[in-house]
Amino acid sequence: MPGGDFHPWFFVIVAAWVLVCGLGVVLFRKIMYSAVSMVFCFLGVAFAYALLNAPLVAIIQILVYVGAISIVIIFAIMLTEVQHGGYDLFFNRQTAIAAVVALVGAAVLAFVALSSDIGQIGDKSLTPGLRQLSRLIFDRYVFPFELVSLVLVAAMIGAIVLATREKERP
């Protein structure tokens, strides 16, 4: 069990939280419940980052995911029609297969991880400090960093173009 500078129970709580909320997202019939569940899931992941000695990632997770993305998604939900009905309406016909595939996938991934050399790694935390991280961003990875800003601009323009109602053509 993970530990070190925190009690293993923290991990158990965070893991349970994240998994339960994640399951909530994919299983709730009402989409608003899913959305709320998703927000909590994101929060849980932020706690996980915090436990992993990555406070910057945790903060950005809260800012971007819990703050921005969740709001955008909730807006999208409100802009579309809310549906009521049985499970048929919410799950498609390949649900059973999808469930099997997902479970098998998890098992395979776990098996692969288990059979790799991960086990030989110590539990000592190595996450870089803020200073080291900023040096990485603005020195070695400055080009991808700038590219990302370009991608954001492009996405912004794209979203505006897509969402703008087309004028009636004469």
Partner 1 sequence: MEGTGYMKIAVALIPLLPLLGFIVTLLFGKRWGKHAHIFPVAMVTISAVLSVYGFEWAFRHQEETFVWNAFTWIAAGQFTVPWGFQVDTLTGVMLLVVGVIGMLVHYYSIGYMHGDEGYYRFFAYLNLFMFAMFVLILADSYLLLFLGWEGVGLCSYLLISFWFRKKSASQAGKKAFIVNRVGDFGFTLAMFAIFVATGTLQFTGVFEAAEKGEIAPSLMTWICLLLFTGAIGKSAQFPLHVWLPDAMEGPTPVSALIHAATMVNAGVYMVARSYPLFIQSDTAMTVVMVVGIFTSIFAAYIAITQNDIKKVIAYSTISSLGLMFVALGAGAWVAGIFYLFAHGFFKGLMFLCSGSVIHAMGGEQDMRKMGGLRKKIPITFWTMLIGALSMVGVIPFAGFWAKDEILGATFIDGYYLVWAVGLLIVLLTGIYVFRLIFLTFFGENRSDAEVQAHIHESPPVMTVPLILLSIPALGLGLLVGVPPESGWLHGFLEPVFFDLEHEPFTWIGEGGALMGVSLVLALVGIAIAWWLYMRQTDVPGRIAERVPWAYKASLNKVYMDDIYAVVPVGATLGFAGWLWTFVDAKIIDGAVNGIALLWGWIGDRLRPIQTGRVQNYALYVFGGMIALVVVLAWVWGS
Partner 2 sequence: MNALYWWLLLSFLLFCIGAFGVLARRNVILVVMSLEIMLNAVNLALVATANFRAGAKGAGTLFALFIIVLAAAEVTVGLAIVIANYRNRRTVQTDTFDELKG
Residues that bind partner 1 (CB under 8 A): 92, 94, 97-98, 101, 104-105, 108-109, 111-112, 115
C-alpha span between 91 and 162 (Å, rounded): 28
Which amino acid, 36?
A: V
C-alpha span between 44 and 40 (Å, rounded): 6
Among partner 2, partner 1, none, the one that 111 touches (CB under a kind-dependent 5 to 8 A) is partner 1
Nearest approach, Cβ of 170 to partner 2 (angstroms)? 20
Question: Is 36 a binder of partner 2 (CB under 8 A)?
Answer: no
C-alpha span between 63 and 65 (Å, rounded): 6
Nearest approach, Cβ of 169 to partner 2 (angstroms)? 15
The interface with partner 2 within residues 83-102 (CB under 8 A) comprises 83, 89-95, 97-99, 101-102
The only residue of 9, 142, 146, 151 in contact with partner 2, by rule CB under 8 A: 151
The only residue of 5, 80, 143, 168 in contact with partner 2, by rule CB under 8 A: 80
C-alpha span between 39 and 45 (Å, rounded): 10
The interface with partner 2 within residues 107-136 (CB under 8 A) comprises 109-110, 113-114, 118-119, 121-128, 132-133, 136
C-alpha span between 47 and 41 (Å, rounded): 10
Question: Is 30 a binder of partner 2 (CB under 8 A)?
Answer: no
- Return the axis-axis angle of helices 31-51 and 70-79, rounded to nearest 10°: 170
Do residues 7 and 14 lie in contact, with contact meaning Cβ atoms separated by under 8 Å? Answer: no
